[in-house]
Structure 1
């Protein structure tokens, strides 16, 4: 999952930032458990597996959205 100025790219899928409402994640308390990251989009919620907590990714997304009102 990669964050760009105008979109988020996941494998061969691309989501324009204007179509994303929010990003959230969930991970069980066990250190080695797989978590889930959720992209809340205009096309519904997209779910992806994650191995690491995506806190920095989500913060970068929120900062980018806050700095660019046209993406809201």
Structure 2
């Protein structure tokens, strides 16, 4: 199935090796499809996603929140997710009519 929208996010992984702390930034993607939202490790049926929101910090980065039937999942973002959220709301309203 074709992607409707993509939202980049990242995960910072830290490892302490002896006296040194190392950081890795892993770039990942939230992908919106007609029937689901996928992340690097999870997949949510579109009917299980209630809402999406985000909060930015002063440096422009922030958290993207995925509100689901299984809880709220947060993802660190650098780019404004407004278009992704708008695509979800448009797709979600038509999907809910389709799956009823």
TM-score (normalizing by structure 1): 0.86
* Contiguous gaps of at least 5 residues in structure 1: none
The equivalent residue for 1:27 is 56
Q: Which has the higher strand share?
A: 2
Shift of 1:47: 0.5
Rg comparison, structure with higher value: 2
Q: Which has the higher helix share?
A: 1
Q: Say which SS state the counterpart of residue 83 (structure 2) adopts.
A: helix
Residue 40 (structure 1) aligned to one of 58, 62, 67:
67
Q: Say which SS state the counterpart of residue 79 (structure 2) adopts.
A: coil
* Contiguous gaps of at least 5 residues in structure 2: 1-29
* RMSD, aligned CA: 1.6
Structure 1 consecutive aligned stretches of length 4 or more whose deviation exceeds 6 Å: none
The alignment of Structure 1 onto Structure 2 pairs a total of residues equal to 70
Q: Distance in 1 between matches of 2:92 and 2:34?
A: 9
